[in-house]
Amino acid sequence: MAQLWGGRFTKETDRLVYNFNASIGFDRRMYAQDIRGSKAHVDMLAKQKILTEAERDAITAGLDGILADVESGSLEITEEYEDIHSFVEANLIDRIGDVGKKLHTGRSRNDQVALDMKLYTRDEIDELQGLLKALLHVLHDLMKVHTETVMPGFTHLQKAQPITLAHHLGAYFEMFRRDYLRLRDIRRRMNECPLGAGALAGTTYPLDREYTAALLGFDRATANSMDSVSDRDYLIELLSAMSTVMMHLSRFSEEIIIWNTNEYRFVELDDAYSTGSSIMPQKKNPDIAELVRGKTGRVYGALMALLTAMKGLPLAYNKDMQEDKELVYDAIDTTKGCITLFTGMLNTMTFQKDVMEASAKGGFTNATDAADYLVKKGVPFRDAHGIVGALVLYCIEKNISLDQMTLEEYKAISPVFEQDVYEAIAMKTCVEKRLTKGAPGAEAMKAAIEENARWLSEIEGQQ
Ligand code: ARG
């Protein structure tokens, strides 16, 4: 049991208490951030003449040595230490002797852990944004290919009106674009450095907090030391943003699961992204999509758990806050894994264009267009609606689609129908006439795709 405290204690900590309290089992993943923060801290201490340059150099070299040894595997982060901060400090003292004991001057583990967690999540936000960008590129490329792939658009999961696959995918492009921008907002808002807040009330040393903040790539130092050590808002925002990403992935997964059924056959998953059954040889299951859908609950759970952990906490630091780590780590790992797998699945999936188009026809998705045709010939819309309803009923009885009716059959229901009805209700016409901004018509889609391309190149190389 290696602890940073103990001076005022007369008894050893109970082993179970020690284990219950320790966070090394999980916060070890922040070793690089912890070392980076400590190096910036001693740089600042030396600049402020709180440490000598020689002391700074010795501590920095020691910290670099720890980092190199952890990375090469020659130094193991063991459960013997209470947390990652104790591990680094104890190792530093072992390595460089008493001068290592000066590292923690003007610092508390409260501002230290607040910093480590910010450095860690900031890196992860960058990665999440990168993964979303890759997904947006796959969607964009598919949209370009499928501007003429007609499919039914659904409401209530009932076929409604014809759209194109590009249009359907375009809806997800918007969702993931918002997710990307949400992460960018969070990153900007959280980018303030808590180091120097001390335990809660700042320190009596003449620290230059803005200097440390700049060294670590923050926009500024945080404004209030109590808030600095007890703010977990940015983690809640991140969990909320990741929950929204997962919700979008889950909706899309649900559609893919439906589209991949024998009944729909709109898509076929690549063999590399499907799984089989141990008993039913014919099966090719969409396990990846199902797992993405299933894992959504985990990320929502983390959001609820952290909100609940924070809700009754008085200022400033309380140990309850240690609970943030496993929740956030797991949610980040889960979300990153899901975006990556989903992107691969989407990129390798085959879209069955003919099946999609036949489904649009078979589902009377052009019924609204047939009614609009009559309206153009002077029939009031309400009457046109009734006439087309009768057409649909007739088709259902005969098990045919609207375009398979003969002109005589049309005329028997309404004499207004002429030969040009076939052109008016052709799937291609139905889609192409929908030209308002955001609609699936070819011109409107072209504009949307151009705008997406412009935006994708704008965010290239940006956060
Ligand atoms: N492991 C702790 C956490 O994650 C670090 C801060 C400890 N501070 C304290 N006063 N016990 O929150």
Are 292 and 425 part of one and the same domain?
no
Q: Does the pLDDT value for residue 421 go beyond 70?
A: yes
> pLDDT-based confidence at 11, cuts 50/70/90?
confident
CA dihedral 30, 33, 36, 41 (to 10 degrees): -90
For residue 94, the CA-to-ligand 1 centroid distance in Å is: 22
Burial 227-257 (b: 16+ CB within 10 A, else e): bbbbbbebbbbbbbbbbbbbebbbebbebbb
Q: At 417, which CATH number?
A: 1.10.40.30
Are 172 and 231 part of one and the same domain?
yes
Are 342 and 273 part of one and the same domain?
yes
SS3 74: coil
> pLDDT-based confidence at 1, cuts 50/70/90?
low
Q: Is the CB of 108 under 6 A from ligand 1?
A: no
pLDDT at 463: 63
> pLDDT-based confidence at 461, cuts 50/70/90?
confident
Mutate to test the pocket of ligand 1, among 86, 89, 110 (most ligand atoms within 8 A of CB): 110
Atom of ligand 1 nearest to the CA of 324: 4
Chosen domain end from 334, 353, 372 = 353
Are 130 and 234 part of one and the same domain?
yes
Atom of ligand 1 nearest to the CA of 325: 4
CA dihedral 373, 377, 378, 379 (to 10 degrees): -50
pLDDT at 294: 98
The neighbour count for residue 117, using CB atoms within 10 Å, is 22
Phi, psi of 2 (to 5 degrees): -105, 115
Residue at 396 is within a domain: yes
Atom of ligand 1 nearest to the CA of 84: 1
Taking residues 225-238, what's their average pLDDT? 98
Taking residues 335-339, what's their average pLDDT? 98
Taking residues 275-301, what's their average pLDDT? 91
Chosen domain end from 316, 332, 353 = 353
Are 255 and 377 part of one and the same domain?
no
Q: What is the pLDDT of residues 186-205, one digit of tens each?
A: 999 999 999 999 999 999 99
For residue 46, the CA-to-ligand 1 centroid distance in Å is: 26
Q: Does the pLDDT value for residue 270 go beyond 80?
A: yes
Q: Is the CB of 463 under 6 A from ligand 1?
A: no
Q: Is the CB of 83 under 6 A from ligand 1?
A: yes
Q: Is the CB of 212 under 6 A from ligand 1?
A: no
Taking residues 154-165, what's their average pLDDT? 96
Residue at 204 is within a domain: no
Task: Collect all residues with Cβ–Cβ distance below 8 Å to 91 and sequence separation of at least 6.
Answer: 66, 75
- Across all residues in the chain, what is the average pLDDT? 96
Are 232 and 83 part of one and the same domain?
no
pLDDT at 64: 98
- Asked if 225 is an active-site residue, the reply is no
Burial class (CB in 10 A: 0-12, 13-18, 19+), 30: buried
Q: Provide long-range contacts, Cβ within 8 A and 24+ apart, for 343-346.
A: 343/131, 343/134, 343/135, 343/138, 344/273, 345/256, 345/269, 345/270, 345/273, 345/288, 345/289, 346/135, 346/138, 346/139, 346/142, 346/256
For residue 403, the CA-to-ligand 1 centroid distance in Å is: 70
- Asked if 228 is an active-site residue, the reply is no
For residue 17, the CA-to-ligand 1 centroid distance in Å is: 15
Q: Is the CB of 322 under 6 A from ligand 1?
A: yes
Residue identified by tokens 């600042």 is: 44
> pLDDT-based confidence at 3, cuts 50/70/90?
confident
Q: Which of 301-305, 362-366, 379-383 is least confident? A: 362-366
Task: Work out how many domains the chain is built from and give that number.
Answer: 3
- In the chain, the percentage of residues whose pLDDT exceeds 70 is 99
Are 231 and 318 part of one and the same domain?
yes
Residue pair 62/125 in contact (Cβ under 8 Å)? The answer is no
For residue 52, the CA-to-ligand 1 centroid distance in Å is: 29
Task: Collect all residues with Cβ–Cβ distance below 8 Å to 327 and sequence separation of at least 6.
Answer: 239, 302, 305, 306
Which residue, among 363, 437, 382, has the nearest Cα to 162 in the 3D structure?
Answer: 363
> pLDDT-based confidence at 279, cuts 50/70/90?
confident
Task: Collect all residues with Cβ–Cβ distance below 8 Å to 80 and sequence separation of at least 6.
Answer: 1, 2
Q: What is the pLDDT of residues 83-123, one digit of tens each?
A: 999 999 999 999 999 999 999 999 999 999 999 999 999 99
Atom of ligand 1 nearest to the CA of 85: 5
Are 325 and 388 part of one and the same domain?
no
Alpha carbon nearest to ligand 1 atom 11, residue = 319
For residue 111, the CA-to-ligand 1 centroid distance in Å is: 9
CA 194 to chain centre: 26
Q: Does the pLDDT value for residue 8 go beyond 90?
A: no
State which residues form the domain around 427. Answer: 359-459
Q: Which of 156, 225, 278, 385 is catalytic?
A: 156
Are 187 and 274 part of one and the same domain?
yes
Q: Is the CB of 192 under 6 A from ligand 1?
A: no
Phi, psi of 275 (to 5 degrees): -130, 160
Are 229 and 331 part of one and the same domain?
yes
Mutate to test the pocket of ligand 1, among 107, 109, 310, 328 (most ligand atoms within 8 A of CB): 109
Q: Does the pLDDT value for residue 5 go beyond 80?
A: no
Q: Does the pLDDT value for residue 259 go beyond 90?
A: yes
Alpha carbon nearest to ligand 1 atom 4, residue = 322
Q: Does the pLDDT value for residue 132 go beyond 90?
A: yes
Residue at 326 is within a domain: yes
Chosen domain end from 72, 105, 138 = 105
Residue at 6 is within a domain: no
Quote the CA–CA distance of 245 and 182 in Å, as a whole number. 10
Alpha carbon nearest to ligand 1 atom 12, residue = 322
Quote the CA–CA distance of 319 and 311 in Å, as a whole number. 14
Residue at 228 is within a domain: yes
Taking residues 332-357, what's their average pLDDT? 97
Q: Which of 9-23, 133-147, 230-244, 393-407 is least confident? A: 9-23
Are 167 and 190 part of one and the same domain?
yes
The DSSP annotation for 157-188 comes to: TEEEEEEEHHHHHHHHHHHHHHHHHHHHHHHH
Residue identified by tokens 């997800």 is: 172
Q: Which of 277, 359, 385, 414 is catalytic?
A: 277
Taking residues 309-322, what's their average pLDDT? 98
Which residue, among 415, 278, 293, 300, has the nearest Cα to 345 in the 3D structure?
Answer: 293
Q: What is the pLDDT of residues 28-82, one digit of tens each?
A: 999 999 999 999 999 999 999 999 999 999 999 999 999 999 999 999 999 999 9
Q: Is the CB of 250 under 6 A from ligand 1?
A: no
Residue at 157 is within a domain: no
For residue 81, the CA-to-ligand 1 centroid distance in Å is: 13
Q: At 239, which CATH number?
A: 1.20.200.10
For residue 315, the CA-to-ligand 1 centroid distance in Å is: 14
The neighbour count for residue 213, using CB atoms within 10 Å, is 23
Residue at 10 is within a domain: no
Q: Is the CB of 328 under 6 A from ligand 1?
A: no
Q: At 58, which CATH number?
A: 1.10.275.10
Mutate to test the pocket of ligand 1, among 113, 229, 329 (most ligand atoms within 8 A of CB): 113
Are 317 and 332 part of one and the same domain?
yes
> pLDDT-based confidence at 386, cuts 50/70/90?
very high
Residue at 211 is within a domain: no
